[in-house]
Amino acid sequence: MSALRRTLAALLCAGGAAHAASLQISPVTIEFGTDDTATGITLRNPGGRPVYGQVRVFRWDQADGQDTLTPTQDLLASPPLIEVGTQSEQLIRVVRASRTPAGAEQTYRLLIDELPQPGEAPANGVSIRLRYSIPVFVEPATNGAPQLDWTLLRGNGGWVLRVRNGGTRRAQLASVELVTGDGHTYPLTQGLLGYALAGRTGQWSVPLPAGVALGGTVTVRAAVNSQPASAVVKVEPPG
């Protein structure tokens, strides 16, 4: 699992575990239209103690099949430091520094890192703080759609699913399963697998049995941007 997927998992599980003063965030995805200049998200603290945090924006890209985050000034988030009181809300405003349209969708991540309470010492020398990761998308100049090519590869560590997106919009991939030529179905994930960003390639290790036979035509079925989709998968022999 990539670091970004672990971050997303922490966001999805934020209501449960790490500590009582977790934030509720709305909306959980930010989308800018081509003419939009600003938007916002609301943080709500349902807990019994204040939540302190740092807010930053990163350019979200993919290289060698993996997610990368790079600091950026394309989008500005305010305020950069937050204190959300008990049973209170905080608005985070996100502003585009430039409205110049791009040929493909631009992708970012808004990260909110919880900070320690002032004067708080970690219990037993350990302090667990949540990171919330909110995807941010800026529409391209013209309408577009993802165009996906699916490849299954066998490496030393097992099977890898590689998804190349030749389109101008991201593809959110969920509920992915493979159907082999002899009719066997292998679920790869019941929930979110990840994203193949516009013009990029996403890559994930997938839990296929060691002796699985992938003869004949292999088909993938998935929810792509919440819509059912299917395609033929290219299976590459071990290299």
Q: Where are the domains of the chain?
A: 3-138, 148-236
- What pLDDT sits at residue 120? 73
**Alpha-carbon span 188 to 207, nearest angstrom:** 6
**Alpha-carbon span 229 to 22, nearest angstrom:** 35
Chunk the chain into consecutive blocks of 10 residues (it has 239) and report each block's average pLDDT, rounded to whole numbers.
Answer: 46 38 91 94 95 97 96 97 96 93 93 88 68 96 94 87 97 96 90 97 90 85 98 86
- What pLDDT sits at residue 117? 84
158-165 and 30-32 beta bridge pairing: unpaired
- What pLDDT sits at residue 141? 87
CATH number, domain 148-236: 2.60.40.10
- What pLDDT sits at residue 129? 82
Q: Look up the pTM and report it.
A: 0.85
Burial of 47-61, coded b for 16+ CB within 10 Å and e otherwise, reads beeebbbebebbbbb
Hey, which residues does 83 pair with through a beta bridge?
Answer: 52
Reported residue count of the chain is: 239
- What pLDDT sits at residue 96? 96
Please give the helix or strand (H or E) that residue 192 lies within, else none.
strand 192-196
- What pLDDT sits at residue 1? 44
Token reading at 66: 């993996």
- What pLDDT sits at residue 145? 95
Residue with tokens 């703080």: 129
Residue with tokens 């930053």: 56
- What pLDDT sits at residue 143? 87
Instruction: Give yes or no on whether 3-138 and 148-236 have one common fold.
Output: yes
CATH number, domain 3-138: 2.60.40.10
- What pLDDT sits at residue 13? 38
Extract long-range pairs of 216-220: CB within 8 Å, 24+ residues apart.
216/180, 216/181, 216/182, 217/181, 218/152, 218/178, 218/179, 218/180, 218/181, 219/178, 219/179, 220/150, 220/176, 220/177, 220/178, 220/179
